[in-house]
Structure 1
Amino acid sequence: MARLGVNVDHVATLRQARGGSEPDPIEAAVLAELAGADGIVVHLREDRRHIQDRDLTLLREIIKTKLDLEMAADDTIAKIALSVKPHLVTLVPERRQELTTEGGLDVVGQRDRVEKIIQLLHEGGIPVSLFIEPDLNQVKMAHKIAADYVELHTGRYANAKRAKEEQAEFEVLAQAAKLAYKLGLGVNAGHGLNYRNVGRLRQIPEIVEYNIGHSIVARALMVGLDRAVREMKELVR
């Protein structure tokens, strides 16, 4: 049975829009857990556009399931991770001008930098996942530099406009997931997944966790967070 990680970054984005204290991503995380989420995901960005250091610290103290910290392969953020000790760190690409994460981490092209951060986090007892494109060479490199998991970027699949295009992207994801599993890597997936497109990915048994944020928060505006999480949880099951 696949697990569901709920990303609460967008709750923090709404809070930061007014510079106040609500809505509180901590409260959202607790409600998501009560509704059945198997973990909470947050991205501590360099520019702190949504999640703040205070959020990360409180979440680590409060979360009962699993806290997955997304971060750039950056020494400064790595030190924060080593202090807070989330249950998992997911290394992602990060650019200041992007609205959200655009594409997977180029592990092949940035091997030395990524490997250094992995070693640093492993020394602190923190397992590491790499958010990558469903590319076989990226999967192989993730294994070579001792990552524990890969999170396959599902953006191209989610954004496919035609059935033939979606099928092609589905097959790419399936091949990458099979290779990762064969190499002993845990397989997660995320980005752009919603209530319409996530169900088909259940046909890829190697995917053990789906990390979803935007569509759940958007749905919660209409029906409430408890129902939004429960509906998504049912779909990934």
Structure 2
Amino acid sequence: MTKLSVNINKFATLRNARGGNMPDILKVAQDCERFGADGITVHPRPDERHIRYQDVIDLKPLVTTEFNIEGYPSKDFIDLVLSVKPHQVTLVPDPPDAITSNTGWDTIANQSFLRDVISTFKAAGIRVSIFLNAEVDKVEAAKTAGADRIELYTGPYAEEYENARTQPQNLQLFNAYKDTARAASAIGLDLNAGHDLNLDNLRFFKLHIPQLKEVSIGHALVCDALYLGLENTIQLYKRQLAEIE
């Protein structure tokens, strides 16, 4: 069963827009779990424009499923993760001013840096995933850097899936995702995925990437919840990830 980790950043964006504590991020995380989420993901950024470092600290004792912290491994981020000790840390190459993640690591060019960071987290007993584009040639270097998993950056997939409604030939580009997933599996790397996955494109991805362990979804899920309700939305996403009978 592919797990659904709900990224709760957008709830924090809403809270921060008004100040105060509405919505209550701690309650949101607990409700997501109660409604069926298999994990909670947060992505604290240096400007704390959504999830704050204190939120991450406060969430740790409350999350009863899997806690995943994403981010660029700056010194402050590393210190936060080591103090919280989540189940998983996902390393992304975002610059501090990035609006959202938009590419994966060049694991070859950043091999030494990633190896040092990953060894620090693994020494603390934290599973490490590396955000990666659908590029087969970067998979081996993710393994040698010490990663346990890769998280496929699915932004390009989501865009090509939408375009394929009128231009079916575009979906041929999906082969890069399948090839990257196979390459990871062949050398013992588990596979996560995330970015712009939604109720329209998630099922297709799941069906064609059987190695998929976990997806992290935030923006689209929160947008759907505005219309459909949070509990119903989480169940709809889990249904897209259900195993084929």
How far did 1:19 drift? 2.3
In structure 1, what residue type is equivalent to 2:232?
Answer: R
State whether residues 112 and 145 of structure 2, in contact with CA within 8 Å, keep that contact through their aligned partners in structure 1: no
CA distance in 1, matches of 2:204, 2:38: 20
In structure 2, what residue type is equivalent to 1:197?
Answer: N
Where does structure 1 lack aligned partners over 5 or more consecutive residues?
Answer: none
Sequence identity (%): 37
Give the equivalent residue in structure 2 for 1:175. Answer: 179
CA distance in 2, matches of 1:202, 1:221: 25
CA distance in 2, matches of 1:75, 1:137: 28
Task: Give structure 1 regions of 4+ aligned residues with deviation exceeding 3 angstroms.
Answer: none
CA distance in 2, matches of 1:158, 1:26: 30
CA distance in 1, matches of 2:105, 2:37: 26
Normalising by structure 2, we get a TM-score of: 0.93
CA distance in 1, matches of 2:158, 2:233: 19
Deviations, residues 119-178 of structure 1 (Å, cap 9, x unaligned):
11111111100011011121111011110010001111101113221232x211111011
How far did 1:76 drift? 2.1
Give the equivalent residue in structure 2 for 1:40. Answer: 40
Give the equivalent residue in structure 1 for 2:190. Answer: 186
* 1:234 aligned onto 2:239: yes
Give the equivalent residue in structure 1 for 2:76. Answer: 76
Name the SS of the counterpart of 1:184 in structure 2: coil
In structure 2, what residue type is equivalent to 1:222?
Answer: Y
State whether residues 134 and 153 of structure 1, in contact with CA within 8 Å, keep that contact through their aligned partners in structure 2: yes
Where does structure 2 lack aligned partners over 5 or more consecutive residues?
Answer: none
Normalising by structure 1, we get a TM-score of: 0.96
How far did 1:24 drift? 2.1
* 1:23 aligned onto 2:27: no
How far did 1:20 drift? 2.0
CA distance in 2, matches of 1:157, 1:93: 19
CA distance in 2, matches of 1:124, 1:12: 28
State whether residues 9 and 43 of structure 1, in contact with CA within 8 Å, keep that contact through their aligned partners in structure 2: yes
State whether residues 12 and 51 of structure 1, in contact with CA within 8 Å, keep that contact through their aligned partners in structure 2: yes
How far did 1:86 drift? 0.5
* 1:221 aligned onto 2:220: no
In structure 1, what residue type is equivalent to 2:54?
Answer: R
